């Protein structure tokens, strides 16, 4: 199976060709303002250097486009919000905890309607159809293109959200609908926030994924297009166009997954040393460990699955104080390394310069670093190693020693010996780990709901089946599905042995049946 992985970063668009378990080829091109042109350039370059790219079964694109839209407040749409839940949650309206500037951009007509369910799935109050019809008419008149619908306890019973969406679509068939039960877990406000963020990005996502499809066609590659998500898995492009929020933070995830693939390690720490920061994460069973705390995106509190990452201001471009070797960073020359670093004729002393002086890497002109004192170089490197070692230890949650995979352009800054680390692993293609991570992404399915009146074993089994069904719907091959996370919490106070079960499964992307000459011949013979 041949897969292309494309990582659209802020500076570079990288593309890799992965054949089965092997990275065959990688290229780097500049990211273009319209994103798609960069993808065309990268894939054409890749295909011209390795024609096997034309035989790709799947293309996986990783992009930070949607996160950036929210963070930078551009490209998000004004939307309508409907919450079915009165008389519950009456005082806290939709958008209540959004940063004011983003709320002003996104918040359109907002409605709170009677209905929703209780914790045992029974109706909380009768659904107010008349109020919903009235809201639908107002939404149709308002001209918004998208609406987010949430209902109290919809992860347990989504009937209210479905009913509201049906009424809306009879009146306003062109409005794109996001329903909260499709996106989130228990916790109304966080789930609703995710739903509203998603609705605000649907128009952008349709345009962007449409652009990806066109780019692929222009490159002459006929393969299924997938977009990578924040949990190291992918979804089909049309699914991603419906749920752009799932693509948030896919960059760091791809880098961690790429490191796992390139090293063959499943349980390890990973450090990605870039130009400005080092991101440290932890691999568990080949997937990034997720963060515990409520995750904010552009100031909005969400309930996302996000990789647990620690970023410190230390990278190849980090500026060192010439007078104080202990003052390393946090300022960086960033993408201007080749203009401002000493080894390239610039006037700043960066960590790259000091590493060149120390003989850790060969870049630019080493003789320009001759003026650095030997003690200065040693002290800076020691300080840099201490900072990395401390950050790595903070992220480590196992008592036993673990291997550390070092990736990224600045990975020469990582020391060879670190307390708690069994060995430091360097890999080929470390500069394009993100694109590799995209190429090898899998399809996931998740369930998070309360099961009642059944044994723990029955509940877990039911959850596994539901999660597998969701993964298959997303494009996974059923026979490759494996459980990667399973968690059950008995719920205090609730009747009937209530158990909240969260199960996540992943599977390989379903291989497209291909009518190759060889296959045709075989079919004829048979």
Partner 1 sequence: MAAAPLRITIEHLESFAIGAWIMGTGGGGEPYFSLLEARQHWAQGKSVELIDPMSLGDDDLIACVGQMGAPIAMQEKMCDGPVIAATISMMEEYLGRKFKAVMLWEVGGNNGFQAFLAGAILGLPVVDCDAMGRAFPQADMTTFAISDFSAAPWTMIDIRKNSVIFTEAVDWTWMERMTRKVCTVFGSAAATCKAPRTGREIKSGTCLYTATKAMRIGRTVQAARKAHADPIAAVLQSEKGKLLFRGKVKDAMRRATEGWLRGTVQIDGLDENRGETFRLDFQNEWSVGWQNDKVVVTVPDLICIMDTVSGEAIGTETIRYGQRVTVVALPAPAILMSTKGLKHVGPRAFGYDIDFKSIFPETAR
The Cβ-side half-sphere exposure at 467, using a 13 Å CA radius, reads 26
Which member of 292, 374, 515, 523 binds partner 1 (CB under 8 A)? Answer: 292
Q: Shortest Cβ distance from residue 383 to partner 1 (Å)?
A: 19
Stretch 59-88 residues interacting with partner 1 (CB under 8 A): 85, 87-88
Three-state DSSP string of 300-348: EEECCCCECCEEECCCCCEEEECCEEEEEEEEECHHHHHHHEHHHCCCE
Which member of 243, 500, 507, 509 binds partner 1 (CB under 8 A)? Answer: 500
Note whether 189 binds partner 1 by CB under 8 A.
yes
Could you tell me if 70 and 201 are in contact, meaning their C-beta atoms sit under 8 angstroms apart?
Answer: yes
**Site map (CB under 8 A) of partner 1, residues 387-426, x = contact:** -------x--x-x---------------------------
Nearer to partner 1, 324 or 397 (CB): 397
Helix (H, G, I), strand (E, B) or coil at 383: helix
Task: Report d(CA 238, CA 509) in Å as an integer.
Answer: 15
Three-state DSSP string of 216-274: HHHCCCCCEEEEECCCCEEEEHHHHHHCHHHHCCHHHHHHHHHHHHHHCCCCEEEEEEC
Note whether 321 binds partner 1 by CB under 8 A.
no
Q: Which two tokens stand for residue 400?
A: 């036993």
Note whether 517 binds partner 1 by CB under 8 A.
no
Q: Which region among 134-142, 409-417, 470-478, 497-505 touches partner 1 (by CB under 8 A)? A: 497-505
Q: Which region among 116-124, 164-172, 410-418, 435-443 touches partner 1 (by CB under 8 A)? A: 116-124
Note whether 97 binds partner 1 by CB under 8 A.
yes
CA 47 from chain center: how many Å? 26
Note whether 502 binds partner 1 by CB under 8 A.
no
Helix (H, G, I), strand (E, B) or coil at 294: coil
Note whether 497 binds partner 1 by CB under 8 A.
yes
Note whether 493 binds partner 1 by CB under 8 A.
yes
Q: Shortest Cβ distance from residue 254 to partner 1 (Å)?
A: 22
CB atoms under 10 Å from CB of 163, counted, come to: 17
Q: How many residues make contact with partner 1 (CB under 8 A)? A: 36
Q: Which two tokens stand for residue 275?
A: 């130009």
Nearer to partner 1, 30 or 92 (CB): 92
Note whether 89 binds partner 1 by CB under 8 A.
yes
- Helix, strand, coil percentages for the chain (3-state, nearest 5): 40, 30, 35
Q: Which region among 139-147, 184-192, 362-370, 469-477 touches partner 1 (by CB under 8 A)? A: 184-192
Could you list the residues that contact partner 1 (CB under 8 A)?
85, 87-92, 96-97, 118-120, 124-125, 152-153, 186-189, 289, 292-293, 394, 397, 399, 489-495, 497-498, 500
């Amino acid at each position: 199976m041949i897969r292309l992985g494309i990582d659209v970063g802020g500076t570079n668009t990288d593309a890799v060709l992965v054949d089965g378990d092997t990275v065959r080829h990688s290229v780097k091109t500049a990211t273009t303002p319209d994103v798609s042109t960069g993808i065309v350039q990268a894939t054409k370059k890749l295909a011209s250097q390795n024609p096997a790219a034309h035989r790709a079964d799947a293309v996986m694109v990783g992009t930070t486009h949607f996160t950036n839209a929210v963070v930078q407040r551009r490209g998000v749409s004004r939307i309508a919000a409907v919450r079915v839940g009165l008389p519950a949650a009456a005082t806290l309206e939709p958008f209540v905890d959004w940063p004011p500037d983003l709320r002003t951009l996104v918040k359109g007509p907002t409605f709170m309607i009677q209905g929703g369910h209780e914790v045992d799935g029974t109706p909380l109050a009768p659904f107010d159809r008349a109020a919903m019809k009235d809201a639908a008419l107002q939404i149709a008149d308002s001209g918004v293109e998208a609406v987010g619908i949430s209902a109290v306890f919809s992860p347990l019973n989504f009937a209210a959200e479905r009913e509201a969406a049906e009424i809306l679509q009879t009146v306003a068939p062109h409005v794109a609908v996001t329903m909260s039960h499709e996106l989130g877990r228990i916790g109304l406000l966080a789930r609703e926030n995710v739903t509203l963020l998603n609705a605000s990005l649907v128009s952008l996502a349709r345009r962007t994924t449409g652009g990806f499809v066109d780019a692929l066609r222009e490159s002459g590659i006929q393969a299924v297009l997938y977009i990578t998500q924040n949990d190291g898995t992918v979804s089909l492009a049309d699914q991603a166009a419906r749920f752009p929020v799932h693509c948030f933070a896919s960059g760091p995830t791809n880098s961690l997954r790429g490191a796992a693939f390139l090293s063959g390690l499943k349980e390890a720490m990973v450090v990605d040393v870039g130009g400005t920061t080092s991101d440290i994460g932890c691999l568990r069973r080949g997937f990034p460990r997720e963060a515990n705390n409520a995750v904010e995106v552009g100031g909005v509190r969400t309930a996302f699955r996000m990789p647990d990452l620690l970023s410190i201001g230390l990278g190849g471009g980090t500026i060192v104080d010439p007078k104080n070797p202990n003052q390393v960073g946090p300022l960086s020359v960033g993408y201007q390394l080749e203009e401002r670093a000493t080894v390239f004729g610039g006037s700043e002393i960066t960590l790259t310069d000091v590493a060149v002086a120390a003989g850790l890497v060969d870049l630019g002109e080493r003789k320009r670093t001759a003026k650095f004192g030997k003690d200065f170089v040693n002290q800076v490197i020691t300080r840099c190693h201490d900072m990395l070692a401390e950050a790595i230890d903070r992220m480590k949650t196992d008592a036993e020693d673990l291997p550390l995979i070092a990736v990224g352009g600045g990975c020469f800054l990582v020391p060879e010996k670190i307390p708690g680390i069994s060995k430091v692993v360097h890999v080929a293609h470390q500069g394009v780990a993100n694109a590799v991570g995209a190429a090898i992404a899998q399809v996931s399915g998740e369930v998070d709901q309360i099961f009642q009146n059944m044994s723990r074993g029955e509940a877990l089994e039911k959850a596994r089946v539901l999660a597998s069904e969701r993964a298959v719907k997303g494009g996974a091959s059923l026979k490759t599905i494996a459980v990667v996370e399973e968690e059950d919490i008995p719920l205090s106070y609730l009747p009937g042995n209530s158990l909240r079960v969260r199960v996540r499964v992943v599977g390989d992307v379903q291989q497209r049946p291909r009518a190759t000459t060889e296959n045709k011949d075989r079919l004829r013979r048979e």
